[in-house]
Amino acid sequence: MLYEDGIPTPEDLARINPSAERLSQGPVVIIECFQRIPCDPCHTNCKTGCILPFEDLNDLPRTDDSLCDGCGLCVAACPGLAVFIVDMTSGGEDHAVVQIPWEYLPVPEKGQQVVLTNRVGNAIGRGECLKAIRFRDRTYVLHLRVPAELAMEARGISRAVLTRA
């Protein structure tokens, strides 16, 4: 349960996940922010207007998915590491591209194989780092090629594999 362990329930995720139809149209932001707190960097950094203005600074983010171009600025700007981009149309056959925030060293390199983790931190499969982008000295945004069936669950990578010599 979210308020006990920080992990969203399937019901929480169902409220914010884009439709299958929208996922089939290209990159789309997914904001896994479920608590009202004074925060709006996702909106203030969104250059397309996809993340709508907040009526109150404590509001939960709302989106107009049709405006998302997958730039990743909102992923890097979120201090809670709660924003992701999923692109089911990229990555090649049976794969997708997921953008996740990354605040650790080392930063995965292009082509590096990574162990994908879910919201709990459990390993769920393997992916490939396509690139790591850093906007204005903020959090890195990793672009990961993942099996399509894991795109809605892959929300991190294992650091253990990255730190081995």
Which positions of the chain have pLDDT values less than 50?
165
Please tell me the pTM assigned to this model: 0.93
- Residues of the domain holding 24: 2-163
Q: How many domains does the chain have?
A: 1
Distance CA 117, CA 21 (A): 25
Distance CA 71, CA 31 (A): 14
Distance CA 129, CA 112 (A): 5
- Tell me how crowded residue 23 is: count the other CB atoms within 10 A of its CB: 21
**Greatest Cα-to-Cα distance within the chain, rounded to the nearest angstrom:** 49
